[in-house]
Chain A
Amino acid sequence: MSTTEKAPLLAVRGVKTYYGNIIALKGVDIDVHEGEIVTMIGANGAGKSTLMMTIFGKPQAREGTITYDGRDITRMPTHEIAHLGIAQSPEGRRVFPRMSVFENLQMGASVNNLAYFDEDLEKVCAIFPRLKERLQQRAGTLSGGEQQMLAIARALMSRPRLLLLDEPSLGLAPIVVRQIFDVIREVNRKEGMTVFLVEQNAYHALKLATRAYVMVNGLITMSGSGKELLSDPQVKAAYLEGGHH
């Protein structure tokens, strides 16, 4: 593949993260190349979200390095990481419930001081027509799916090069999950956005992925292209039985 010749946009090397004395990540290696959708699947408590938060510097990795675009960001404070062009849509959506959709989007753009706000607002509204209808509505009154769309839209407002999505399908109806994943694919194809996605919904996530990793108990146990993992008997047995459709 041509992407492997270039240095990865995000490189996680031997990262170990602890909560107090409890080890959550036991030495994780991940590559995310420009233009890819990389997904990580794993069960509850495998350490997926911890990895996501470690990339964002809260909690910080005790060992190992995280490099983004050639810079070491392992020890960087969270708010500075956001200024480097990494945006995160955190687990559980976390929109600002009492602020309007418009204000939420404005908060997303605060990294670049609203310089491109109007332009980006139009772009985001084109991707999420539902949000356009509800710009003046309080975010707390949106449905779960709309809130997830808003969380992704808010992350996009900072013009990121790398979009981190933590379980965007959490608690959503299957049809809404499909919509969300369609949007992620669209953003990747049209804008060339690099996406790193953490998911429990393995079927959809793997279908979407350029490459994928499987995490078990704080360690990467498998990696490969999305198709490879989808047809892998072990993955099938552990994550796809019961049919996520």
Chain B
Amino acid sequence: MMMEAPAREPVNFAGLLKDAVLAAAIAFGLFSLLLGLKTDQTLNNQMVLVPRPGLLATVVGLVFVGRFLIGYWQAINAGKIKKRKAAATPLALKIEKYGTAAFVGFLFVYPMMVLGTAGPSGAIKWIDNFGIQILIYIMLGWGLNIVVGLAGLLDLGYVAFYAVGAYSYALLATSEPVKEFMAGLVGPTFWPLWAFWICLPVAGILAAFWGVLLGFPVLRLRGDYLAIVTLAFGEIIRLVLINWVEFSGGYAGISSIPRPSFFGVPFNATESGFAATFGLEFTPIYRTIFLFYVILVLALITAVVSTRLRRLPVGRAWEALREDEIACRSLGINTVNTKLTAFAIGAMFGGFAGAFFAARQGFISPESFVFLESAQILAIVVLGGMGSLLGVVIASIMLVGGVELLRELDFLKAYFGDNFDPAQYRMLIFGACMVLMMLWKPRGLISVREPSVFLKEKKAVSSDLVKEGHG
């Protein structure tokens, strides 16, 4: 539409005004009851209606002015044809190339930097809430990216594999028979110290197994149907965990899960603990820093594996499957195996992340594996741009780190009263972000798909130029 008007037309102020009045009228209709009246209690427990004309007028006025300004902005830009920046596309790839190394380097020194600036007690928050939390979501995003971004299988139940990983580790590590068996085999102190390192691969394998199990019944489904089944799968896993109390502890969850050791050296204040062994003063920060590096390495493994896989035949087959299943089949690609490997490998990384999560928390319950988690991981993948590793990183920092930052906005209480909790508005902000994304970057923050093979030089075409593939 933008391209149709070559000559600059005068701005139609009457029309704009009409639009704005209409919008204000709709806003008034919507909000007159929602905002204009408030129910309150008198001392005698009677309900009274408190009219709030000031608030209503403010909101309606904002809508009026906002609509007018948007219309004006659209009108003055109507004649202009947007020039596509040819240079912008390779730039994104360049950032991905050089930025990645710098960013990984930054992550490795991040805990030290924070420790130096904030001190041991202040640093925990920055390393744990920001560092570890974001890295877990980056890892989950990269894992789901294999299923959704590469293979194009819309999975709304990814948190199920996260749960499988977490419960696998928690149940194995706290299980008495396993503990006794290992005590008989290699001594009583072995299992609590090494459980994490032994269970980590086991959790991944079990999650992969569940991925295949989910994969089989959904082989013939695509798009929305697949999404519904995976959504149900995630809920089933959660409900089983809630209701099978003898197995999983139900709502009470599993507590006192052994924490990871520094390859056999525990993080505690005893003689044989980490601090004493290395001649340091005991503080809990060492464990946090160690956990940070563990999840960093796990996430990097996920990234390396998924970039490598993309260049292998199986990765190419995933991408081809995303584009067109029928064409894949006629080219001799075994679509069954291709889908199952995508589900299995994606689930495996979810399982690793889950085991790490259980070890970090020391306590898990089904509350941590609700649909909202799946939605958030999917949102990270979609927001970042399907298939883009860097996009997932940016989206995780925005969504997870952003929510954490909201908790920091205490000064807002000065304006909105003591009951104001900015973190409660996170879903609102989350939603607004999504809407804005769909308006401005409908294919995600990083929408450039880097070809997995090149003839001579790297060259990419922005996906904006390509019509939407289906699936």
Contact = CB atoms under 8 A, between A and B. Distances in A.
Contacts of A80: 332
A95 interface: yes
Nearest to B470: A97
B317 A110 contact: yes
Interface in A88-107: 88-90, 94-100, 102-103, 106-107
Interface residues of B, number: 31
B331 A154 contact: yes
A160 B295 CA distance: 48
A contact residues, range? 35 or more
Contact of A96 (B320, B329, B461): B320
Contacts of A111: 331-332
Contacts of A137: 461
B453 A102 contact: yes
Contacts of B334: 77, 79
B331 A82 contact: yes
Contacts of B326: 90, 94
A136 interface: yes
B187 to A, nearest CB: 50
Given A110-B333, A158-B332, A136 B459 contact: yes
Interface string B314-334: 001101101110111111111
A98 B463 contact: yes
B467 A97 contact: yes
A102 B455 contact: yes
A56 B330 contact: yes
Nearest to B329: A78
A90 B327 contact: yes
B466 A96 contact: no
A96 B332 contact: no
A141 B327 contact: no
A224 interface: no
A23 to B, nearest CB: 22
B455 A141 contact: no
B469 interface: yes
A107 B320 contact: yes
B469 to A, nearest CB: 5
Nearest to B452: A103
A111 B219 CA distance: 22
Interface in B283-326: 313, 316-317, 319-320, 322-324, 326
Interface in B434-471: 449, 451-455, 459, 461, 463, 465-467, 469
Contacts of B451: 99-100, 102-103, 136
B454 to A, nearest CB: 8
Contact of B469 (A97, A100, A102): A97
The CB with the most chain A CB atoms within 10 A, among B316, B319, B324, is that of B324
Contacts of B331: 82, 87, 107-108, 110-111, 154-155, 158
B329 A140 contact: no
B313 A110 contact: yes
B327 A95 contact: yes
A58 interface: yes
Nearest to B387: A98
Contact of B316 (A83, A107, A141): A107
B335 interface: yes
Interface of B: 313, 316-317, 319-320, 322-324, 326-335, 449, 451-455, 459, 461, 463, 465-467, 469
Q: Which 9 pairs between the two chains have the least Cβ-Cβ distance?
A: A82-B332, A96-B323, A94-B327, A140-B466, A111-B332, A88-B330, A79-B334, A78-B329, A100-B451
